[in-house]
């Protein structure tokens, strides 16, 4: 039986009272199940954290001793109990170690997607499919107007740019995916990375997902035009606003994060409208609960076919 109150939001985040745990809490809690290491999902200071090994490694890098009191490392597809709920982490394809959280209780299955993507990405475990009674999906881009272009044709655009490139990207996940895409599809480019990205690359390498060919940025490099692509986190990117002799690009699924209307690089690590419909077809839910975005379009689209509840 599907329980309407299986999970609900309170001031600390999304709470499952049947297992007495939070999913990706926003404030420190006693017990947390964490989908992936991005900072809006994985905060420091929780007591008891259940997550994948890669998520724990990245949290330890970021937060050091405050990362968690106890990490309970879960392998993908290996069920474990939290309170009265059976939890299984399923690859989400969003970044290294990212997991969907399957929760089983009282004969019903609830699948929390976390952030996820369907596009191929050699820098993380590909998404895997399980069926569910309730799909609890992020809906960042759950709008029929949002269709992400093919990332390979997007990255190939940089082959036409002969000047050095300053490429803004989030340090965790996106930077490694870009290194991989450039290594594969623009191999003549020389990739330089900001020092803040290096320790994350090291974790990817240790976990068996080397991003590609790159070197750490140094001041003397890029003095000449030599097809350099310098990958920097958003803060550094913004501080180089008046940089000369470089083409500035920012890689994101968001229109408003692009440099301007001409210089775009639409590479997203989230599902678009078609991907969400594909996910619903693959997971066969009886109900869809939405969070992180707009659920209205899905509600209208599925009208009488699937019950859609907007969680926030
Ligand atoms: Zn994320
Ligand atoms: Zn997120």
Ligand 2 centre and the CA of 40: distance in Å?
Answer: 6
Instruction: Select from 164, 163, 182, 160 the least CA-distant residue to 251.
Output: 182
State in Å: Cα 270 to ligand 1 middle: 8
Q: Residue 109 — pLDDT band, cuts 50, 70, 90?
A: very high
Tell me which residue of 76, 108, 115 sits closest to 93, measured CA to CA: 115
Ligand number nearest to the C-alpha of 98 = 1
CA of 41 to the centre of ligand 2 (A): 6
Which ligand has the shortest distance to the CA of 269? 1
> For residue 294, what pLDDT is reported?
86
Average model confidence (pLDDT) across the chain? 96
What is the distance between the alpha carbons of residues 151 and 95, in angstroms, rounded to a whole number?
A: 15
Q: Residue 253 to residues 138, 146, 283: CA-CA distances in angstroms?
A: 15, 9, 24
Burial class (CB in 10 A: 0-12, 13-18, 19+), 43: buried
The string of DSSP letters for 64-125 reads GGGSEEEEEE--TT--EEETTEEEEEEE-SSSTT-EEEEEEETTEEEEE--S---S--TTSP
Ligand nearest to the CA of residue 292, numbered in listed order:
2
- The predicted structure's pLDDT at residue 312: 80
Contact between residue 135 and residue 189 where contact means Cβ atoms under 8 Å apart? no
Give distance in angstroms: CA of 244 to centre of ligand 2: 33
pLDDT > 90? residue 300: yes
Give the pLDDT mean for 148-176.
97
Structure confidence at residue 236 (pLDDT)? 95
CA–centroid distance, residue 308 to ligand 2 (Å): 21
Q: Which residue has the tokens 């078609």?
A: 274
Closest ligand to residue 268's CA: 1
Using the mean position of ligand 1's atoms as its centre, give its distance from the Cα of residue 225 in Å: 34
Using the mean position of ligand 2's atoms as its centre, give its distance from the Cα of residue 39 in Å: 8
* Mean pLDDT, range 104-124, rounded to an integer: 98
Scanning the structure block, which residue is given the tokens 């209780």? 105
Q: 114 CA to middle of ligand 2, Å?
A: 7
Residues 249, 259 contacting (CB under 8 angstroms): yes
The pLDDT tens digits of the residues spanning 182-234 come to 999 999 999 999 999 999 999 999 999 999 999 999 989 999 999 999 999 99
Q: Three-class SS of residue 193?
A: strand
State the pLDDT confidence band at 271, using cuts at 50, 70 and 90.
very high
CA 36 to ligand 1 center in whole angstroms: 7
Task: Give percent of the chain with pLDDT exceeding 70.
Answer: 100
- Measured from the alpha carbon of residue 140, the closest ligand is 2
Distance CA(268)–CA(266), nearest Å, equals 6
What's the pLDDT score for residue 276?
97
- Ligand in nearest proximity to the CA of 24: 2
Residue 244: what pLDDT?
85
DSSP 3-state helix, strand, coil percentages of the chain (rounded to 5)? Answer: 25, 30, 50
Q: What is the mean pLDDT of residues 61-89?
A: 98
What pLDDT score does 115 carry? 97
- 99 alpha carbon to ligand 1 midpoint, in Å? 10
- Between the CA of 237 and the centroid of ligand 1 the distance, in Å, is 20
Ligand nearest to the CA of 95: 1
What ligand has the least distance to the C-alpha of 37? Answer: 1
Region label for 287, one of left (φ > 0), alpha (ψ between -120 and 50) or beta (otherwise): beta
* pLDDT over 90 percentage in the chain: 95
State the distance from the centre of ligand 2 to the C-alpha of 146, rounded, in angstroms.
17
d(CA 123, CA 121): 5
- Cβ–Cβ < 8 Å for 50, 81: no
Burial degree of 54 (CB within 10 A; 0-12, 13-18, 19+): buried
Residues written for the chain: 312
pLDDT at 162 over 90: yes
What is the DSSP code string of 111-172? EE--S---S--TTSPPP-----SEEEEEETT-STT--PPPHHHHHHGGGG--SEEEEE--TT
- Smallest-distance ligand from the CA of 38: 1
**Distance (Å) from CA 226 to ligand 1 centroid:** 33
pLDDT in tens, 229-266: 999 999 999 998 888 889 999 999 999 999 999 999 99
Q: Which residues contact 72 (CB under 8 A, 6 or more apart)?
A: 48, 49, 50, 51, 80
**CA of residue 35 to ligand 1 center, whole Å:** 9
Please state, in angstroms and rounded to a whole number, the distance separating the CA atoms of residues 179 and 191: 7
């Amino acid at each position: 039986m599907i329980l309407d109150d299986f999970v609900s939001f309170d001031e600390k985040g999304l709470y499952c009272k049947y297992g007495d745990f939070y999913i990706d809490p926003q404030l420190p809690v006693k017990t947390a199940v964490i989908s992936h290491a991005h900072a809006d999902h994985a905060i420091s200071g929780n007591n008891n954290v259940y997550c994948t090994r890669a998520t724990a490694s990245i949290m330890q890098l970021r937060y050091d001793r405050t990362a968690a009191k106890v990490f309970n490392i879960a392998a993908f597809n290996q069920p474990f109990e939290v309170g009265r709920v059976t939890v299984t982490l399923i690859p989400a394809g969003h970044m290294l170690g990212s997991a969907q959280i399957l929760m089983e209780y009282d004969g019903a299955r609830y699948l929390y997607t976390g952030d996820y993507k369907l596009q191929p990405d050699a820098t993380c475990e590909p998404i895997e499919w399980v069926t569910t009674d309730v799909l609890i999906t992020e809906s960042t881009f759950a709008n029929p107007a949002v269709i992400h272009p093919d990332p390979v044709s997007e990255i190939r655009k940089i082959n036409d740019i002969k000047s050095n490139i300053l490429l803004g990207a989030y340090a965790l996940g996106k930077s490694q995916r870009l290194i991989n895409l450039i290594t594969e599809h623009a191999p003549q480019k020389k990739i330089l990375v900001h020092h803040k990205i290096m320790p994350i690359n090291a974790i990817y390498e240790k976990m068996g997902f080397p991003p590609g060919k790159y070197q750490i940025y140094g001041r003397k490099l890029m003095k000449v035009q030599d097809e350099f692509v310098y990958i920097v986190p958003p803060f550094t990117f913004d501080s180089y606003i008046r940089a000369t002799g470089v083409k500035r690009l920012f890689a994101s699924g968001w229109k408003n994060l692009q440099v301007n209307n001409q210089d775009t690089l639409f590479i997203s690590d989230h599902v678009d409208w078609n991907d969400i419909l594909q996910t619903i077809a693959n997971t066969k839910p009886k109900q869809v609960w939405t969070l992180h975005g707009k659920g209205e379009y899905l509600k209208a689209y599925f009208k009488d076919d699937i019950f859609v509840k907007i969680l926030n």
